[in-house]
A and B are shown apart, each in its own frame.
Chain A
Amino acid sequence: MAMTATPEENALHPDLLLIAKVKAGDLSAFEQLMRQYDRQIFRIALHITQNREDAEDIVQDTFLKAFQKLDQFQGNSKFYTWLVRIAVNESLMRLRKRRSQKTVSMDEDIQTEEGSIPRDFADWMPNPEQNYNQSELADILRRTIQGLPPGFRTVFALRDIDGLSTEETAKALGLTVPAVKSRLLRARLQLRERLSRYFRVPTGAHPL
């Protein structure tokens, strides 16, 4: 049997109260859960799929699935982590469809050694993002993260942008903690390496 939290622990998390209400037929409690998490789910979906339209659909599908499967939610993990897991699966499914190939998975491209060793050691300008206007910066950030394999992108998004712990990220993605750590390191280093092109102190100039 799966380990479950004690009732006292359960009672502490406000989500569980809402879930109990939803199970008793209260839809407004489900609306509250959506309001709480839809933005994060959108962000995760967008990071994985890199497509806003898909990400919006995924928000819908994730919450619908959660509603359908709510009986299966055991309360032995956080509701949010459970939700993220659904969203990640939905996102990977969409990505597969878009690319019409079967190979999109969390394991894709992890063999590559690219970016695991830093090469660019130039320091960056102070507040480097301020040297670009909003749409230029958005473009740089989008193109840079798009270059990462989905498995790296997802770990980076969950861990660094969404603020999940390493353990929660592992749980949501069905990965081991060491696997999350190694992907996170490589995702961060690869992004850093690519952003450096735009943010480094120009050669010949002095920092500060």
Chain B
Amino acid sequence: MNCTEFLANLTDYFDAKTASSLRSELEQHMADCSHCYVTVNTTRQTIEIYRNDELFELPESIRTKLQQAVLIKCAKMKENKGRKI
């Protein structure tokens, strides 16, 4: 297995979707190839850092405000339709 083939299987490898024979081939390549070994580890860290970060959180106060705004509009829509939606 070369590095290009290794990368082509990286997504399935992360998803643990590879058959066990392919999986051991991939792991063998990682043991032999420091580049791919680093790529796998740092890609895994990339995913974890983004997943754990609260950069994209919606503050509770804004949540409440948005929910109320939507519900008021929904109630109006329901009324205008004059029937069950």
Chain A interface (Cβ within 8 Å of chain B)? 22-25, 27, 30-31, 34-35, 38-39, 42-43, 46-47, 56, 59-60, 63-64, 67-68, 70-71, 117-118, 121-124, 128-129, 137-138, 141-142, 145, 156, 160-161, 166, 181, 184-185, 188-189, 191-192, 195-196, 199
Q: Does B32 contact A (CB under 8 A)?
A: no
| Contact call A185/B50, Cβ cutoff below 8 A | no
Q: Does B28 contact A (CB under 8 A)?
A: no
Closest to B9 in A: A185
A184 and B58 in contact (CB under 8 A), knowing A27-B71, A192-B42?
no
Could you jot down 12 A-B contacts, CB within 8 Å? A35-B67, A38-B66, A60-B70, A60-B73, A128-B45, A138-B53, A141-B50, A181-B11, A189-B39, A191-B46, A192-B42, A195-B42
B62 to chain A, nearest CB (A): 6
Closest to B62 in A: A56
Interface string of B53-65 (1 = CB under 8 A from A): 1011110001100
A-side contacts of B74, CB under 8 Å? 27, 30, 64, 67
B16 to chain A, nearest CB (A): 12
A46 and B56 in contact (CB under 8 A), knowing A30-B71, A124-B45?
yes
Q: Which of A24, A59, A141 interacts with B49 by CB under 8 Å?
A: A141
Q: Which 10 A-B pairs have the closest CB atoms?
A: A42-B58, A43-B56, A192-B46, A121-B35, A192-B43, A63-B70, A25-B84, A118-B39, A67-B74, A160-B47
B34 to chain A, nearest CB (A): 7
Q: Does B10 contact A (CB under 8 A)?
A: yes
Q: In the complex, given contacts A68-B77, A70-B85, A195-B46, what are 10 additional A-B residue pairs having Cβ atoms less than 8 angstroms apart?
A: A27-B78, A42-B56, A56-B62, A118-B35, A118-B39, A124-B42, A138-B53, A161-B51, A189-B39, A192-B43
| Contact call B62/A123, Cβ cutoff below 8 A | no
Closest to A185 in B: B11
| Contact call A39/B38, Cβ cutoff below 8 A | no
Q: How far, in angstroms, from A25 to B77 measured CA to CA in the complex?
A: 11
B-side contacts of A46, CB under 8 Å? 56
B-side contacts of A195, CB under 8 Å? 42, 46, 49
B-side contacts of A23, CB under 8 Å? 84-85
B-side contacts of A199, CB under 8 Å? 42, 45
Q: Does B15 contact A (CB under 8 A)?
A: yes
A159 to chain B, nearest CB (A): 9
| Contact call A60/B51, Cβ cutoff below 8 A | no
| Contact call B55/A142, Cβ cutoff below 8 A | yes
B-side contacts of A47, CB under 8 Å? 56
